[in-house]
Amino acid sequence: MKAVPEGRAILCDVTEFGRIPEIVAQTEVDHGPVNVLINNAGYGHEGVLEESPLEEMRRQFDVNVFGAVAVAKAFLPRFRERRRGFIVNVTSMGGMITMPGIAYYCGSKFALQGISLVMRAEMAPFGVHVTALCPGSFCTDWAGRSMVCSERTIADYDALFDPIRTARQEKSGKQLGDPERLAEAVLTLVESDNPPPQLLMGSDALGFVSDRIAALQQEIEAWKALTVSTDG
């Protein structure tokens, strides 16, 4: 039986941006070079856009975007100098599609999705892989105690949003996605010599994103004449 490496936990708040480089440096001193970064820190925010305070958006982006980028940036020079490494930035199907009530979350994941694609292009010449991992709904606590929910204050949104919140709460802990199978899939991903720019995880992510791509293509075709009319 193959021995399982011992895990080591290091407490780190990814929004303490100044501490991250020293934590990464000390980790490599204590345990040797890191070859794979799974950038998974993040949380969900739920709330109607008009009702959600900007401070909640700022916190969402601090964790989901700035925190993830700060951790990646601490590893980039090390991976570049060693001419090897793999960064998996965990985004979401919410970084490729949108749903009412999670504007701040989708915005943060769209941002990380785009940054990941640029990071991939910039690091490719140095033999460093970057993939955005885009999970659908998995059986975690994302929609439970981990989620920040803005207070409901405007009755006009009740008919649209209340059923969405209720459905999400009822589904929490019963999602189709299996976190252990996702972990196994990530191990397969990081062993690949030619990983994709982004990788959907879960049948719901596959369905929703495929539908969005098809609708986007229809939108492009429907408005093509106006699109090209701006050429000089």
Is residue 215 one of the residues assigned to a domain? no
DSSP at 149: E
pLDDT, one tens digit per residue, over 17-37 is 999 999 999 999 999 999 999
Number of folded domains that form the chain: 1
* pTM of the predicted structure, to 2 decimals: 0.93
Is residue 122 one of the residues assigned to a domain? yes
Is residue 218 one of the residues assigned to a domain? no
Q: Which residues span the domain enclosing 165?
A: 17-207
Q: Are 143 and 98 in contact (CB under 8 A)?
A: no
pLDDT, one tens digit per residue, over 87-124 is 999 999 999 999 999 999 999 999 999 999 999 999 99
Q: Are 64 and 43 in contact (CB under 8 A)?
A: yes
Residues recognised as catalytic: 105
Q: Are 46 and 100 in contact (CB under 8 A)?
A: no
